Amino acid sequence: MKLRLMLWLLGWLLKFALRRKPRFRETITEMRSLDWGIATENLSIARHYRMSPKGIHAGAGLPVDLDLELRFEDEATAIKVLRKPTQQAFLDGMMAGNVRLVGDSSDLNKLQKLLKHL
């Protein structure tokens, strides 16, 4: 339940930042668009985010056409990593096998660049 709430709040924060934070808007405009999602490995909890300069759409599930997916071993691991989403936390999770990145790692760098402005 905590992870579902965290992911819903993340969507709300992204939409808020797009409306209110100029640096966030500039960064999204530079990268044009980014479609990404977060899920547990068994897909019991999954949410995706489609971000562009025109707006941000958040929804349940993981569509097939996402640029980047972050898959976590379980809900507890996801909460632990997402509370402090540093590059080192993701790297440690990937090395331990708790976090799996599906997509291009450069998209993860773009995402972390955006999340700094929240």
Contact 72, 102 (CB under 8 A): no
Ranges of each domain in the chain: 2-115
**What beta strand segments (E) does the chain contain?**
34-40, 46-52, 55-60, 68-72, 99-103
Q: How confident is the model at residue 45 (pLDDT cuts 50, 70, 90)?
A: very high
Per-residue pLDDT at 11 exceeds 80: yes
Predicted confidence (pLDDT) per residue in 48-80, tens digit: 999 999 999 999 999 999 999 999 999 999 999
Q: How confident is the model at residue 112 (pLDDT cuts 50, 70, 90)?
A: confident
Per-residue pLDDT at 1 exceeds 80: no
- Residues of the chain with pLDDT > 70: what percent? 100
Q: How confident is the model at residue 85 (pLDDT cuts 50, 70, 90)?
A: confident
Three-state SS for 38-72 is EEECCCCCEEEEEEECCEEEEEECCCCCCCEEEEE
State whether CATH 3.30.1520.10 applies to domain 2-115.
no
Query: What is the maximum alpha-carbon separation in the chain?
Result: 38
Among 16, 32, 20, smallest CA distance to 110 is for 32
Q: How confident is the model at residue 2 (pLDDT cuts 50, 70, 90)?
A: very high
- What is the rounded average pLDDT of the residues 87-91? 84
* pTM for this entry: 0.89
Beta-carbon contacts of residue 34 (< 8 Å; ≥ 6 apart): 28, 51, 67, 68, 107, 110, 111, 114
